[in-house]
Amino acid sequence: MTDLSTSSSAAGRDRATRNLLPVGAQRARLRRWRGFKDHSAKYTIATFGFSVIVALALIFIYLFSEVLPMLQPASVGQVTHYDAPGGNPARTVHVASDRHRELAVRFTDDRRAVFYRPMTGEVTRQYELPFPEDVAVTARGRAEPRTRLSAFGLENGQALVTRHTFSEIFADGARSVEGAIEYPLGDEETALLDVVEDGTAITQIAVQEGSRGITVVAALADGRLRMVQFETTTSFMTGETEVERKVYDLDTPPGDTEITAILLDITMQSLLVGDSEGQVHYYNVRRPNDARIIDSRPVIPDPDASVASMEYLLGTVSLIVGGSDGTVGQWFLVRDDDNVQRLTFVRGFQGHDAPVTAIAPEYARKGFATADATGRVKVHYSTSHRTVLDTRVGDRPIRVLNFAPRANALYAVDDEDGFRVVPVSNPHPEVSLGALWDRVWYEGRSSEEFVWQSSSATDEFEPKFSLVPLTVGTLKAAFYAMLFATPLAILGAIYSAYFMAPRMRGMVKPTIEIMEALPTVILGFLAGLWLAPFVENHIPAVFSIVILMPVLMVAFAFLWTRVIPEGVRVRVPPGWEAALLVPVVLLVGWICVASSPLIEIAFFGGNLRQWLTDVGITYDQRNALVVGVAMGFAVIPTIYSISEDAVFNVPKHLTQGSLALGATPWQTVTKVVLLTASPGIFSAVMIGFGRAVGETMIVLMATGNSPVVNFNIFEGMRTLSANIAVEMPEAAVGGTHFRILFLAALVLFVLTFIMNTAAELVRQRLRRKYSSL
């Protein structure tokens, strides 16, 4: 009877179910609706997935578009050629222009300064320089180009120092430029200066302006070398200027050589003298009474060649030497092991097939141009070790060469006084593969180094754009952050997913995931203002915690399982044992901090930081250790959450089957759970690494932002992202610095893209390998 009633009720339910199922047209409508939803979901997901790819591609394209102009080569425009402005009987000794290339000046050896329009040669004004009648100009020198100072040596032993000026006048909405000649050591009547009293002709001359006056160094026809300082003092009451003349006779270069070039630096401390035997002699003239030759070096490879031309680069630190054999080299003073400055060869540039006849340094960069006796001009840049331009401007030897102040034109004068204006487009000569990624020998350094230093307080500063310190700093910060975060996050994820009680897991996991919402600027603020000083004052405590914490936690676990009576242990529900470790962690931390001063006194003389310094380890307050801890807290939630989900979602039949076959829980975790969850855990680690690589605010606030190249845990670093955040606001839009910052962003983008792609490939391989479990 029971079986009959049961079958009757089941049949009734089947009939009711059939009555509820759609039939006919209703079923067709539902099928169409289901198909519409399937197709909508399919194409929506595909559209947004494709949009992500497009967005990444657009980011790459935009970054590359900002970087691309740096990769374009230098070029020249249409060369303008005309005869010497103001007539051709006299020889041109110097040419210069204003920054807008609206007005230029030509100095001649027949006592004239001719102002003219550089693009047409039209003369606007002429000055008669106060030279004596029938006295020839026998030497000409110029100071650092920004001073616009020139010196002319005469055959009677006198010298004239002039300064050409360009004044901009704005009227009726238009700009005009007017030129003038000034005499910084007197007026037109008293401008001539006596270098020697006996009328010996000056064969070479150098001039430089300092804080107290002007110094002239002259080589005389009888072989003497004389230095004359003209110190100016202006009366506060009358406004009159008095010039005090101090004369110093210097030792001549050894041997029977002819002086071919003289240069004096802007500090008035270093004098360089080139001779006909291809040598340059370095004088220390800081104390002129005790001036002497410190070093003499052959600077021309060919022993039969001579120094044909010699000029300082911007800042008068680097010396560019052009030889009669066509070679071009860069030298500057480097201190040796005895702390003595020696002339040192730094790098050579693409030479000429004929003698170098002129060298022109740029006004605002470390670039220069060289010209030879065949009319060929080459433009070089010292820091990037590049010859960026090679062009022929004529068929005659170039005798005078000069850059426009903005380096956008070259003025070349040949031996027949034919003038040529060469427009130059060379916006980014500082960039080369070697300058960005290789060691570079910078001015003032004793060897080649990786350096990032984009700006300084002086105009003659040499920008240093090596990306190696920033890339190493990025990897360093990420490495120490991952070193701190990965073990804690993964082990915590395994414990909470596999061993922890569900109720406790329901409290722990949301708490850790909420940490990810904490603004990184807060973490950086706390790390910089609280954690960094705390770590500095308790260095022994930090390492004591690292060593003692896991040891004492294992010791407590041993006591709990082997010593504590079972009657006590059973009172703690399974999965709640971790709560017992909270007091242990707090106690160990307190003991380590409290004993930190005692450890310093006992083992490190009372000051561990000083002890580290004494053994050669640099310690910065804001260092990689602080960044690792702070950034680790930012990364832990990401790694933990993904890893915990991966472990928790391991199929139960795998773990239960392992336990049923006699494996312990720990064996099950290591042999089954970890292998099955390894793709998810690996993905968590790589996502956390990407998070650490791109972190900005923590690194910005918790390090000294020092772009150093090392992995010292006690030193700071500067990362690519932090550098962009710091320097982008001050970079001139479109400038080299601006575009290199975009290149740094592109490097960061490519780095994270490669890491994520590699991680995905590894994850897929792990997934295929362990999918059969």
The predicted structure's pLDDT at residue 18: 56
SS (H, E, C) 253-305: CCCCCCEEEEEECCCCCEEEEEECCCEEEEEECCCHHHCEEEEEEECCCCCCC
Question: Is 510 buried (19+), middle (13-18) or exposed (0-12) by CB count in 10 A?
Answer: exposed
Q: Is residue 578 over pLDDT 90?
A: no
Q: Is residue 278 over pLDDT 90?
A: no
6 vs 548, which has greater pLDDT? 548
DSSP assignment letter at 629: H
What tens digit of pLDDT does each residue of 107-136 get?
988 888 999 999 999 999 999 888 888 888
DSSP assignment letter at 435: H
Confidence of residue 32 (pLDDT cuts 50, 70, 90): confident
CA distances from 418 to 150, 256, 673 (A): 22, 36, 85
What tens digit of pLDDT does each residue of 753-767 get?
888 888 888 888 877
- Tell me which amino acid residue 18 is: R
Residue 523: which of 424, 629, 598 has the closest Cα? 629
The predicted structure's pLDDT at residue 17: 53
Residue with token string 């000056």: 202
Q: What is the rounded average pLDDT of the residues 384-395?
A: 92
The predicted structure's pLDDT at residue 12: 57
In which region does residue 199 sit, left (phi positive, over 0), alpha (psi from -120 to 50) or beta (all else)? Answer: left
The predicted structure's pLDDT at residue 48: 92
Q: Is residue 19 over pLDDT 60?
A: no
Please give the Cα distance from 532 to 52 (Å, whole number): 39
Q: What is the rounded average pLDDT of the residues 531-555?
A: 91
DSSP assignment letter at 324: T
Measured N-to-C along each axis, helices 468-494 and 736-770 cross at an angle, to the nearest 10 degrees, of 30
The predicted structure's pLDDT at residue 10: 55
Please give the Cα distance from 576 to 563 (Å, whole number): 18
Please give the Cα distance from 261 to 181 (Å, whole number): 25
Q: Is residue 1 over pLDDT 50?
A: no
- Does the pTM surpass 0.85? The reply is yes
The predicted structure's pLDDT at residue 257: 84
Question: Cα dihedral sign for 489, 491, 496, 498?
Answer: positive
